[in-house]
Amino acid sequence: MSDMLSYRPRTGEIPTSPGVYRFRDATGRVLYVGKAKNLRARLSNYFAPLHNLHERTRRMVTTAASVEWTVVGTEVEALQLEWTWINEFDPPFNVQFKDDKSYPYLAVTLADEAPRVLVTRTTGIRGARYFGPYPKVWAVHETMDLMLKAFPIRTCSNANYKRAMQSGKPCFASQIGRCFGPCSHKVSIEEHRATVNQFVSFMTSQDRKLINMLTAEMKAAAAEQDYELAAKRRDQVMALDAVLEKSAVVLRDTVDIDLFGIDQDELAAAVQQFIVRGGRVRGVRSWIVDKELDLSTDELVDSIMKSAYDHDGRPPREVVLPELPDDVDALQDWLGSIGNRKVRLVAAQRGEKAALLETANQNAKHALMLYKTRRSSDFVARSKALEDIQEALEMPSAPLRMECYDVSHLGGTNIVASMVVFEDGLARKDEYRRFTIPESTDDTDSLYRTLMRRLAYLKPELGETDAAGEERRTKFRYRPNLLIVDGGQPQVAAAARALADSGITDIALCGIAKRLEEIWLPDSDYPVILPRNSEALFLMQRIRDEAHRFAIAHQRTRRKRDISTVLSEVPGLGPARVKQLLRHFGSVSRLKQAGVDEIGQVNGIGPVLAATIHQHVHATASKAG
């Protein structure tokens, strides 16, 4: 593949002004929309040598057939135009946001003659005041029930209210004690409006001034022996206390902020938004972001801000982020234009906001793990994944048993390999295996040696009985439908050679690259591309990651026991001297038993270095013991 793209513009043709650029394919479809403070500097990154680009960026620029740009006056204008075009063209290589539903709000229809309170997911009601969003619909219903005990206001529909006012008969909700509007004939429209204003005031500030006032009225009524009024005020105070207790105080009462926790991997990111009003967490919102290109944290934050506030109303005066994007000033101006007030973006480093941000980050990490795990563990998803893998790899049947292999080492030492087993899409940890590779030339040779040892157990003569007449490792004899290796073409070629040398032809083979997320088959010049976020790709990723984790865990265990690794940590002791020491003493145990003078006799080891080696070896041995 040539490193020169035919549509690359001359550097002098690209302006240095702020602007928005679009990559298009041969049919004119917009593949990617981006913005830049300096178009020339930004676009030059895409036209670097192809082998230096991330794989998904390389795929985008090689799929594209042209690039065009539009110059704007400021970064804010670029930000606005970029988001407009992303919504208009839906480019496949831009961030895609997945949110299965909108979030519930508590709304008060202030424009009505007798305002009502309701739970809704619609944010376009004329003249309505919204509170929320709430993480669960039951949470907003529970809040409304508590608030109605303190502020008896209308809950019935407009049609029922109109019918009740015309007929003089209370609405059904009023008859069962669920509506306290003017149609109940217990309050006037003016009195009801005053109660609604109190309701809105408390929901906006949620301070204790109103509770203190009601408490004083309760005590005064009790002193005057008006026990009915005292009991009513008591119930109101208890209801409002319950509302406040539902949101733990995490910051000062004057703090109104949004916090965004983010956790991401190569393909997806989880976002956790904490909505803090009056120092309390009023709502939590979470969603998953699908990524096509490899995005840095600040680029991801930039897109999340635009998604979070483009349609959901005014941002607060302060937004707390894990990392500030490069265009923080432009983004603040854009958010300020939405909310008609100044908005400040901050990256909390310490204090109470940083502590809450860490909580949001932990929730995001859990959400991403749960998102991936559920897709792999769900029976329908697993079945779909196995069917898709069968179809993509052109297998005669679904791979009900899959084995995945990975090699791990430390600078060519402590070479180990792992074998993990998945049956019906689920991990069979009791059948995992570890391998130790005494010596090897490289990763592919290590993989070949590992598979040769494993495949030997699939031969009929080794699958029956051993010399003692006992059955040989029954589980190790189970025949996989599919072998998966962690890597690309070189690793797949090594595994294919092991299959051929073992005389096995009925087991499918593939490899999955760690960063490319592409599936490689033997003797194939082009990879199999599984749809992003498909069930098949998620299952393949999970198997690969599990093999990698298992190999790393084994390698770290051996590293603690391996004297060569311990010696490599000694200052001034390089690989050549490590080999010299092991060659001289012949074994690790003899080196541990040697004194300082004996170690100093080794060629190239002076008395000072010998003392350092002796001290380091025995210190490590005592820790291990």
Q: Tens digits of per-residue pLDDT, 154-180?
A: 888 888 888 888 887 888 777 777 777
Q: Mark which of 187, 205, 223 sits at the end of a domain.
A: 205
Q: For 451-506, give the DSSP string.
A: HHHHHGGGSGGGSSB-TTSPBP-HHHHPPPSEEEEESSHHHHHHHHHHHHHTT--S
CATH at 535 = 3.30.420.340
User: Is 2 part of a structural domain of the chain?
Assistant: no
Q: Mark out the alpha helices in 184-226 (DSSP H runs).
A: 189-205, 209-223
User: Is 241 part of a structural domain of the chain?
Assistant: no
Give yes or no: residues 571 and 505 share one domain: no
Give yes or no: residues 385 and 362 share one domain: no
Give yes or no: residues 469 and 360 share one domain: no
When pLDDT is averaged across residues 413-430 and rounded to a whole number, the result is 86
When pLDDT is averaged across residues 489-513 and rounded to a whole number, the result is 91
Instruction: With a cut of 90, say whether residue 497 has pLDDT above it.
Output: yes
What pLDDT score was predicted for residue 377?
Answer: 66
Give yes or no: residues 187 and 147 share one domain: yes
User: Is 236 part of a structural domain of the chain?
Assistant: no
Give the pLDDT band of residue 460 (cuts 50, 70, 90): low
Letter for the amino acid at 245? Answer: E
Measured CA to CA, the distance from residue 55 to residue 266 in angstroms comes to: 11
Residues 6+ apart with CB under 8 A from 461: none
Q: Which of 430, 302, 256 is nearest to 33 (CA)?
A: 302
What pLDDT score was predicted for residue 466?
Answer: 47
pLDDT digits (tens, 9 = 90+) for 226-240: 888 888 788 777 776
Beta bridge partners of 23: 32, 67
Number of H helices, E strands in the chain: 22, 19
Positive/negative CA dihedral, 88, 92, 97, 98: positive
Give yes or no: residues 57 and 144 share one domain: no
Give yes or no: residues 68 and 151 share one domain: no
Instruction: With a cut of 70, say whether residue 409 has pLDDT above it.
Output: yes
Positive/negative CA dihedral, 219, 222, 226, 231: positive
What pLDDT score was predicted for residue 481?
Answer: 92
User: Is 158 part of a structural domain of the chain?
Assistant: yes
- Domain count along the chain: 5
Give yes or no: residues 533 and 387 share one domain: yes
User: ∠389-394-396 over CA atoms, to 5°?
Assistant: 95
Specify whether the CB–CB gap between 496 and 523 falls below 8 A: yes
Instruction: With a cut of 80, say whether residue 472 has pLDDT above it.
Output: no
- Polymer length in residues for the chain: 625
Instruction: With a cut of 60, say whether residue 250 has pLDDT above it.
Output: no
User: Is 238 part of a structural domain of the chain?
Assistant: no
When pLDDT is averaged across residues 25-29 and rounded to a whole number, the result is 91
**CA-to-CA dists, residue 444 to 64, 480, 550, angstroms:** 35, 21, 18
User: Is 237 part of a structural domain of the chain?
Assistant: no
CATH at 65 = 3.40.1440.10
Give yes or no: residues 527 and 607 share one domain: no
Give yes or no: residues 525 and 398 share one domain: yes
Mean pLDDT of the chain: 80
Give yes or no: residues 337 and 482 share one domain: no
When pLDDT is averaged across residues 278-287 and rounded to a whole number, the result is 74
Specify whether the CB–CB gap between 267 and 517 falls below 8 A: yes
Q: Which of 203-212, 311-320, 327-336 has the lowest mean pLDDT?
A: 203-212
Instruction: With a cut of 70, say whether residue 468 has pLDDT above it.
Output: no
What pLDDT score was predicted for residue 248?
Answer: 37
- Pick 573 or 446 by higher pLDDT: 446
Positive/negative CA dihedral, 320, 301, 339, 204: negative
Give the pLDDT band of residue 32 (cuts 50, 70, 90): very high
What pLDDT score was predicted for residue 255?
Answer: 82
What pLDDT score was predicted for residue 437?
Answer: 84
Q: Mark which of 190, 205, 220 sits at the end of a domain.
A: 205
Instruction: With a cut of 90, say whether residue 498 has pLDDT above it.
Output: yes
Instruction: With a cut of 80, say whether residue 570 has pLDDT above it.
Output: no
Measured CA to CA, the distance from residue 216 to residue 222 in angstroms comes to: 10
Give yes or no: residues 365 and 388 share one domain: no
Q: Which of 54-63, 272-281, 289-298 has the lowest mean pLDDT?
A: 289-298
What pLDDT score was predicted for residue 393?
Answer: 92
Domain range for 134 is: 105-205
Task: Report percent pLDDT > 70 for the chain.
Answer: 82
Give yes or no: residues 189 and 319 share one domain: no
User: Is 248 part of a structural domain of the chain?
Assistant: no
What pLDDT score was predicted for residue 56?
Answer: 84
What pLDDT score was predicted for residue 208?
Answer: 66
Q: Mark which of 74, 94, 114 sits at the end of a domain.
A: 94
User: Is 360 part of a structural domain of the chain?
Assistant: yes
- Pick 528 or 4 by higher pLDDT: 528
pLDDT digits (tens, 9 = 90+) for 374-387: 666 678 888 888 99
What pLDDT score was predicted for residue 233?
Answer: 81
CATH at 324 = 3.30.420
pLDDT digits (tens, 9 = 90+) for 319-368: 999 888 888 888 898 888 887 889 999 988 877 788 788 878 888 887 88
When pLDDT is averaged across residues 108-126 and rounded to a whole number, the result is 85
Specify whether the CB–CB gap between 269 and 291 falls below 8 A: yes
CATH at 604 = 1.10.150.20
Give the pLDDT band of residue 1 (cuts 50, 70, 90): very low
